Copies of this chain bind each other. A is one copy, B any other.
């Protein structure tokens, strides 16, 4: 799974209705251009693709306030919301060790009810354990690990990484069970988007004027 659809769906959903540039700015605000493939091209492509597939509804309009070409606004459909939640749940449970997907999933975890988040994360640790077992069992040759030479270091790395992640996941579960953060249906949600016209306090310093210069 690539992170882009999850990110874009999540961003559009938080806005209710958004055009490409708004999504792009949100993702930049989240720093997503640094830890995922959220480049302009990918974002616009994802929007179009998902509109074509019926996950988003495209309002062909708006000759754009404040310069630039006419823009299309997108709204998430019911289908799209289902898909969003499906992607989010999958990203939270499956152990595929891609940082971008994980990061996005955590960013959106509060869109789920607290109890479900905990359940999914527990399932995640279970799967990490399962994967760990399959690696240690499957990859070690019958005649002892010495056969592997330096190749054994690869598995060593995998195990090390998996263990670290399992540990982190346990910690997160504990914090969530301990009442941290505000989840779906618990009142005033965390706001993670820029309101129209508001300035981006984060950013990398530069905005993206012309994108390359």
Give A contacts to B, CB under 8 Å: 30-31, 97, 99, 102-103, 106-107, 109-110, 139, 141, 149-151, 153-154, 156-158, 160-161, 163-165, 167-168, 171-172, 175, 180-182, 190, 192, 201
Q: A157-B102, A190-B150, A192-B151 are in contact. Are A31 and B168 (CB under 8 A)?
A: no
Give the residues in chain B near A141, CB-CB below 8 Å. 201
Which listed residue (B30, B154, B164) contacts A106, Cβ 8 A? B154
Give the residues in chain B near A153, CB-CB below 8 Å. 106, 109, 172, 175
CA distance A212 to B161 in the complex (A): 32
Instruction: Provide a sorted-by-A list of 27 A–B residue pairs whose CB atoms are within 8 angstroms.
Output: A30-B151, A99-B158, A99-B161, A102-B157, A103-B154, A103-B157, A103-B158, A106-B150, A106-B157, A107-B151, A107-B154, A109-B150, A109-B153, A110-B149, A141-B201, A149-B181, A149-B182, A149-B190, A151-B192, A153-B172, A156-B168, A156-B171, A160-B165, A160-B168, A161-B161, A161-B168, A164-B165
Copies per assembly: 2
Shortest beta-carbon distance, A167 to chain B, in Å?
7
Other A-B pairs beyond A110-B149, A161-B164, 6, CB < 8 Å? A106-B153, A109-B150, A109-B153, A153-B175, A156-B172, A161-B161
- Do most interface residues of chain A lie in helix, strand or loop, or is the interface mixed? helix
CA distance A176 to B151 in the complex (A): 13
Give the residues in chain B near A168, CB-CB below 8 Å. 156-157, 160-161
| 8 A-B pairs with least C-beta separation | A164-B164, A150-B181, A160-B168, A149-B190, A103-B154, A106-B154, A106-B153, A97-B99
CA distance A101 to B20 in the complex (A): 32
- With both beta carbons as reference points, the residue of chain B lying nearest to A97 in the complex is identified as B99
CA distance A58 to B182 in the complex (A): 59
Shortest beta-carbon distance, A203 to chain B, in Å?
11
CA distance A9 to B139 in the complex (A): 24
